[in-house]
Structure 1
Amino acid sequence: MPVNFTFEDIENDPIFKKFVVKKKGRSVGTLKNYVFTLKLFCSFIGKSPTELHDIHREDLRNRAAEFDMRLTEYLDDYVSYLIEEQEYTYLTIKANIGRILSFLHAFKLRPTPEIEIPKKRF
């Protein structure tokens, strides 16, 4: 069930705070983009950044195949939502997915799923 996280919820999340430390030296605008992206994604999946981190970490520890990773399903559903309901462009979606994956990569949570983003809408 979707949750409406606030910007403050994301900024005060313990794992997001660690992420900010790891990204020290990034511009304020870049960090705001991460907050905005994670707010939307976390609200969509109903999980905080810490929960997202822990879920993907657990899947990696359990050696889940990419198609069995919960993150794969979350991202696939999110891309569909961004296309169908938000009418985001390919480049905007790609940037958003890139920020979500970058958040997880900062904690060495690899691999992450490769998400297909259609370039054209039919």
Structure 2
Amino acid sequence: MESPPEDSASARSVTVRFLAEHCPWADPAAVQLVVTELTTNALRHTAGWWRLRLRAESDELTVELDDSSTRLPEARVPDFGGRGGFGWPMVLNLAGRVEVRRHAEGKTVRAVWSRPGIVAGPAAAA
């Protein structure tokens, strides 16, 4: 899905439909929260586009978000005054594995969940 103009609601909606059809074993609340965080961060921290990709295999679910920024996500001390810092640690905790890769057009954040009963690799920080 290509970036809608100003919100992440479309990404959440697409994700719910995708999970119901292709990946019913996944925790929809966890996956939706990760999608929301990644799209919100792309909207907040980039001046350009973002693209969401969802892929389900028999034993794995992959969520990828490409955006136009080469700046890597970083863990910050959470700020209860409204400046954030909660999302990236949440993404790292909710997904089984997280990878971030820079490329010529920006970066890709990949979150992967293994089907229950399948052992996932450790979460990787940026």
* TM-score class normalised by the smaller sequence: 0.3 to 0.5
More strand by percentage: 2
More helix by percentage: 1
Q: What is the TM-score with the length of structure 1 in the denominator?
A: 0.40
Q: What is the TM-score with the length of structure 2 in the denominator?
A: 0.40
